[in-house]
């Protein structure tokens, strides 16, 4: 995906969004779509480095998914630890 084109589209559409909440929601949606379409977080960061709202959305996305990964790891550890206690 050509992130330079996405960046141009973002700036063109952003001027039509008047509410801060709507801009933040649009940034969240954009980041999710980019990640879902296999764009790397580092590439998004490099492309939108001057755009605070995109950087905030990207950070929130990464923090949320890191937290979910940690929760899954803890669930796995609890499951496997419980199996070790069982006597066969």
Q: What is the tens place of the pLDDT at every residue in 21-74?
A: 999 999 999 999 999 999 999 999 999 999 999 999 999 999 998 877 666 666
**Residue 84 confidence (pLDDT) above 60:** no
What average pLDDT does this structure show over 1-6? 90
DSSP letter string over 28-68? Answer: HHHHHHHHHTT--HHHHHHHTTT-HHHHHHHHHHHHHHHHH
- Burial of residue 44, with CB atoms counted within 10 A of its CB: 0-12 exposed, 13-18 middle, 19 or more buried: buried
Q: How many domains does the chain fold into?
A: 1
pLDDT at 79 over 70: no
18, pLDDT greater than 50: yes
Q: What does pTM read for this prediction?
A: 0.74
Domain span at residue 11 reads 3-85
């Amino acid at each position: 995906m050509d992130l330079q084109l996405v960046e141009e589209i973002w700036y063109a559409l952003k001027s039509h969004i008047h509410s801060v909440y709507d801009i933040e929601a649009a940034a969240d949606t954009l980041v999710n779509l980019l990640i879902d379409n296999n764009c790397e977080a580092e590439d998004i960061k490099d492309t939108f480095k001057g755009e605070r709202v995109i950087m905030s959305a990207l950070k929130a996305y990464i923090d949320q998914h890191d937290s979910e990964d940690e929760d899954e790891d803890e669930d796995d550890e609890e499951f496997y630890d419980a199996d070790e206690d069982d006597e066969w």
